[in-house]
């Protein structure tokens, strides 16, 4: 039983990361209807930036804030310079550009910081507390930071004029333009925010998975799965989906282990993590493309 609780707790912790990535994906999707395949690599690159700042002797939170700020700028620049000219281009062109970005970020990180695995410090102290057998300090910290960031984002979108303008630009660009919202810049800001969220997610997960250029590849896939489960057009749904997928992933591994122990048959385990994500993605896409909370997209002919 304790093991099960442990698995759920660590599922929630990794779910927090998937939720962040899913949210970043949804932010870009609602604004531009693009699925950003480079999101994971961008987050990985931001994490390296953070690591570099840490190496230069900055404190963890300062380093993270600067890295998030830099990522914000990178995100805005990418939207303004690379994606802006592609407005109205075919899906294939956009996908190809994303793959190009993925390749560039991946190899640049490898070139600048080498492919060797690096440890990444956790900002949370290793203290023992009631229930620390079930959930570690860093895991609680991950969840807390995620929830804090999500609340801040929610407040930003709900209570500030800029947030309102960004929502308007994403939902109805034409009308937003008519009431004086600079839609182009709102899209760029959306990209910047997504990149900054990615930076935080990366810095939170790096102490667990270690820092290396491939660290985000499976996380990105789970982020996609989470976004799809919740509904790719619903930010709240994406966050919920991220947590759900995180717990699901750990439970699958747990019950896989259990069946192996009880019946001696190996069906599924940690080695099949990505296959589980694949199955989730394809099942959701075929059975319920709008996800749990997304609105159904109707096509007018």
Partner 1 sequence: MSTPLQKTAIAAAQAVNDLMRKGAVAVEPAPAAPAATPAMDVATDAPAMRKRSRVLIPALLVLAAGSLVLFGGKGGLISDFQYLQLSLILVYAIAVLGLNMLTGFNGQISLGHGAFFALGAYTAAVMIEHYNLNYLATLPAAAVFCFIAGYLFGLPALRLEGHYLALATFALATAVPQILKYKHIEGLTGGVQGINLIKPEAPFKLALSSDQWMYLVVLAMAALMFWLARNLLDSRPGRAIMAIRDQPLAALTMGINTAHYKATTFGISALFVGIAGALHAIIFEYVSPDSYAFSLSVAILVGAVVGGIASLPGALIGGAFVQVIDKYADAATKQLTAMVHLPIDLEPWTIYGILLITLVYVMPSGVAGGLAQLKAKWKRR
Contacting residues toward partner 1, per CB under 8 A: 33-35, 37, 82, 85-86, 88-97, 99-104, 106-108, 110-112, 217-218, 221, 224-225, 228, 266, 269, 271-275, 277-278, 281-282, 285-286, 289, 301
211 φ, ψ (degrees, to nearest 5): -95, 120
User: Minimum distance from CB of 196 to partner 1 (Å)?
Assistant: 22
Q: Which is nearer to partner 1, 112 or 155 (CB)?
A: 112
Interacting residues of 227 by C-beta distance below 8 A, sequence separation 6+: 22, 23, 25, 26, 29, 238, 241, 242, 291
Residue 84 C-beta: closest distance to partner 1, Å: 12
Give the nearer residue to partner 1 in terms of CB position, either 23 or 153: 23
Q: Minimum distance between the CB of residue 52 and partner 1, rounded to whole angstroms? A: 13
Taking the complex as a whole, the smallest distance from the CB of residue 221 to partner 1 amounts, in Å, to 5
Q: How far is the CB of 129 from partner 1 (least distance, A)?
A: 36
**Smaller CB separation from partner 1, 143 or 215:** 215
Nearest CA to 64 among 214, 190, 206? 206
| Least separation in angstroms between CB 104 and partner 1 | 4
State how far the Cα of 89 lies from the Cα of 105, in Å rounded to an integer.
Answer: 23
| Residues belonging to the chain | 301
Residue 207, judged by CB atoms within 10 A of its CB (0-12, 13-18, 19+), counts as middle
Tell me whether residue 141 or residue 242 sits nearer to partner 1 (CB atom). Answer: 242
Q: Which two tokens stand for residue 230?
A: 């919740």
Q: Which residue has 């947030």 as its token pair?
A: 163
Residues 295, 41: Cα–Cα separation, whole Å: 29
What does the DSSP 8-state code read for residue 59?
Answer: -
Least distance in Å: CB of 88 to partner 1?
A: 7
- Tell me the C-alpha to C-alpha distance, in Å, between residue 56 and each of 208, 263, 296: 22, 53, 49
Return the number of the residue (136 or 230) whose C-beta is nearest partner 1.
230
Give min distance, CB of 190 to partner 1, in A: 17
Q: In the complex with partner 1, which residue's Cβ is closer, 224 or 243?
A: 224
**Are 204 and 150 within 8 A, CB to CB?**
no
User: 216 and 40 in contact (C-beta within 8 Å)?
Assistant: yes
Note whether 100 and 37 are within 8 A (CB). no
Tracing tokens 């034409």 back to the chain, one arrives at 174
Please, which residue, 54 or 227, has the CB nearer to partner 1?
227
Determine the Cα–Cα distance for residues 69 and 64; give it in Å rounded to an integer.
8
* Residue with Cβ nearer partner 1 (131 or 271): 271
């Amino acid at each position: 039983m304790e093991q099960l609780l442990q698995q759920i707790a660590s599922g929630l912790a990794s779910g927090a990361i998937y939720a962040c990535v899913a949210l970043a994906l949804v932010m870009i999707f609602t604004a531009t209807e693009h699925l950003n395949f480079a999101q994971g690599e961008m987050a990985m690159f931001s994490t390296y930036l953070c690591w570099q700042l840490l190496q230069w002797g900055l404190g963890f939170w300062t380093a993270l804030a600067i890295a998030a700020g830099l990522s914000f700028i990178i995100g805005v620049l990418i939207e303004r310079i690379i994606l802006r000219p592609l407005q109205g281009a075919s899906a294939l062109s956009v996908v190809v550009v994303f793959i190009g970005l993925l390749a560039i970020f991946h190899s640049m990180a490898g070139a600048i910081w080498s492919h060797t695995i690096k440890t990444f410090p956790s900002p949370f102290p290793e203290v023992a507390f009631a229930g620390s057998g079930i959930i570690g300090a860093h895991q609680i910290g991950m969840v807390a930071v995620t929830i804090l960031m999500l609340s801040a984002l929610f407040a930003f979108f709900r209570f500030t004029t800029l947030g309102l303008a960004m929502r308007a630009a994403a939902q109805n660009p034409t009308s937003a333009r008519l009431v004086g919202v600079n839609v182009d810049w709102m899209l760029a800001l959306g990209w910047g925010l997504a990149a900054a969220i990615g930076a935080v997610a990366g810095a939170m997960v790096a102490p667990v998975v270690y820092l290396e250029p491939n660290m985000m590849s499976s996380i990105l896939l789970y982020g996609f799965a989470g976004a799809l489960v919740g509904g790719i057009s619903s930010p709240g749904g994406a966050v919920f989906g991220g947590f759900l997928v995180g717990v699901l992933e750990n439970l699958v591994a747990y019950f896989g282990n259990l069946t192996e122990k009880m019946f001696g048959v190996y069906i599924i385990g940690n080695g099949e993590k990505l296959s589980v994500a694949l199955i989730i993605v394809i099942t959701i896409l075929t059975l319920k493309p709008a996800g749990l909370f997304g609105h159904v997209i109707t096509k007018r002919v």
